Amino acid sequence: MLVLTVAVATLALALGAWAAVRLARDLPVILRQLVAGGAVEVALLGQVAAAVALTASGHALAEPLTFWGYLVFALLILPGAGAWAFADRTRWSSAVLLVGTITVVVMELRMWQLWGQVIPG
C-alpha cells in the first residue's frame, strides 16, 4: 500500500508541477496532461484493488467508511478537473488542475494515516 500511495502522490505532484508551469506561462490544460491524469487514475484504481484485496485478507481498518469515502472521492477529482479543462480553454484550467492535484496529494496523505489506523487485535 505504501508503494501505491507514494506512486499516486508522486504522479499527482508531477502533474501538478506541469500544470503550475503552464499556469505561469498563461497556457491552458492540454490533452497530454489529461493522459498523465489518466495515469494517476490508473494508479488510484490499483490502490483500490490493493485496498480491496488487503482488507479482504484481514487488514481491519479503524475507520473503513472514511477510508473508502476518500478513495472514491480521490477518483472523482481529476476527471472533474479534466471536464473543466474542456469547458475552459484559458490558463485558469491549469490552475484548476493544479488545485485538483494538490487535493489528490492531501487525500493520499490522509488515506495513508487512515490505512495505518487498524483495529487492535
Residue 99 binding other proteins, by CB under 8 A: yes
- Do residues 80 and 100 make contact, with C-beta atoms less than 8 angstroms apart? yes
What's the rounded Cα separation, in Å, for the pair 88 and 82?
10
C-alpha cell at 1: 500500500
Shortest CA distance to 37 belongs to which of 73, 4, 109, 85? 85
Return the residues of window 64-83 that contact other proteins according to CB under 8 A: 65-66, 69-70, 73, 76-77, 80-81
Q: Hunting for cell 492535484 — which residue is that? A: 101
CB of 84 to other proteins, least distance (A): 7
Considering only 78, 96, 105, 114, the residue that binds other proteins (CB under 8 A) is 96
Residue 88 binding other proteins, by CB under 8 A: yes
What's the rounded Cα separation, in Å, for the pair 97 and 78?
7
CB of 67 to other proteins, least distance (A): 10
Judged by the rule CB under 8 A, the positions of this chain that interact with other proteins are 65-66, 69-70, 73, 76-77, 80-81, 84, 87-93, 95-96, 99-100, 103
